[in-house]
């Protein structure tokens, strides 16, 4: 079965990898192949993400580029980029709990915060999923996400085109509506992540080998 894997990069990162740096050096094609059945032939992997800002972590863009370079060693993989925004905004403050001594009093109604936001990836992923379904680019699609914004494109591909679209969930308890819409559900477990790590060094045909960022080990970064 021709199978395309659609990866919601930021959702995967924040749900499964952010606090487990030992798994960040992740080969997403190998991950999907480990979870899916032997009958699923992964013909393409589409990875939706955006370039991170150095505003919060100055070294983050360099590490991300190393990872992009690693992903690009997968012949079937394409990186589709949205945008990443860091803005200063005002937000309402939740009052401190009544128990115990508050840190300050009176507390303000609003505070100014730094808000990081990724834009465009869910729209790109949903649009490409629907297009690929209508053009018969796959027999089976699998989406790595827990984003309920993708329910409608998944529904269209299943109900209006007749395709099989499954979810590879990066969380233990995925959104109920997402599960109800998808053709099937598989969970991404720690064992899957561990088995799907790139080697380090990672050889490349015409460029220097890639090394896993040193901070991507347990209990660091």
Place of tokens 């209006």: 160
- Look at residue 136 and give its three-state secondary structure: coil
> What is the average pLDDT score of the chain?
90
Task: Please measure the distance between the N-terminal and C-terminal CA atoms of the chain and give it in whole angstroms.
Answer: 39
Q: Which pLDDT does position 221 carry in this prediction?
A: 43
Q: How confident is the model at residue 116 (pLDDT cuts 50, 70, 90)?
A: low
pLDDT tens figures, 15-46: 999 999 999 999 999 999 999 999 999 999 99
Q: Which pLDDT does position 139 carry in this prediction?
A: 98
Helix ranges (DSSP H) in the chain: 9-12, 28-35, 60-71, 121-134, 151-155, 176-181, 190-195
Q: Which domains does the chain have, with CATH numbers?
A: 2-84+120-195 (3.40.50.1010)
What does the CA dihedral 199, 33, 183, 145 come to, rounded to 10 degrees? Answer: 10
CA dihedral for 61, 62, 67, 70, sign (positive or negative): positive
| pTM: predicted TM-score of the whole model, two decimal places | 0.86
Residue 83 reports pLDDT greater than 80: no
What does the block give as tokens for 78?
Answer: 């394409």
Least confident of 85-99, 114-128, 165-179: 85-99
Residue 76 near residue 107, CB atoms below 8 Å:
no
DSSP string, 21-83: GGG-SB-HHHHHHHHS-TT-EEEEEEEEE-PPPTTT-TTHHHHHHHHHHHHTTSTTEEEEE-E
Q: How confident is the model at residue 220 (pLDDT cuts 50, 70, 90)?
A: very low
d(CA 52, CA 64): 8
């Amino acid at each position: 079965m021709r199978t395309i894997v659609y990866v919601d990069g930021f959702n995967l990162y924040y749900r499964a990898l952010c606090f487990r740096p030992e798994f960040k050096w992740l080969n997403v094609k190998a991950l999907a192949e480990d979870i899916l059945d032997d009958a699923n032939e992964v013909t393409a992997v589409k990875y939706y993400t955006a370039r991170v800002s150095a505003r919060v972590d100055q070294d983050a863009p360099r590490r991300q580029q190393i990872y992009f370079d690693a992903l690009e060693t997968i012949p079937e993989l394409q990186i589709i980029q949205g945008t990443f925004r860091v803005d200063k905004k005002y937000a309402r403050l939740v009052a401190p709990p009544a128990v115990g001594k508050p840190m300050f009093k009176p507390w303000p109604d609003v505070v100014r915060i730094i808000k990081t936001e990724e834009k465009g990836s869910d729209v790109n992923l949903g649009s490409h999923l629907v297009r690929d379904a209508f053009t018969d680019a796959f027999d089976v699609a699998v989406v790595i996400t827990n984003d309920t914004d993708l329910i409608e494109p998944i529904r269209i591909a299943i109900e209006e085109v007749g395709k099989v679209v499954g979810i590879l969930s990066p969380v233990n308890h995925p959104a109920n509506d997402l599960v109800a819409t998808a053709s099937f559900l598989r969970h991404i477990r720690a064992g899957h992540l561990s088995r799907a790590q790139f080697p380090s060094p990672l050889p490349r045909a015409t460029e220097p080998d890639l090394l896993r960022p040193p901070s991507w080990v347990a209990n660091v970064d």
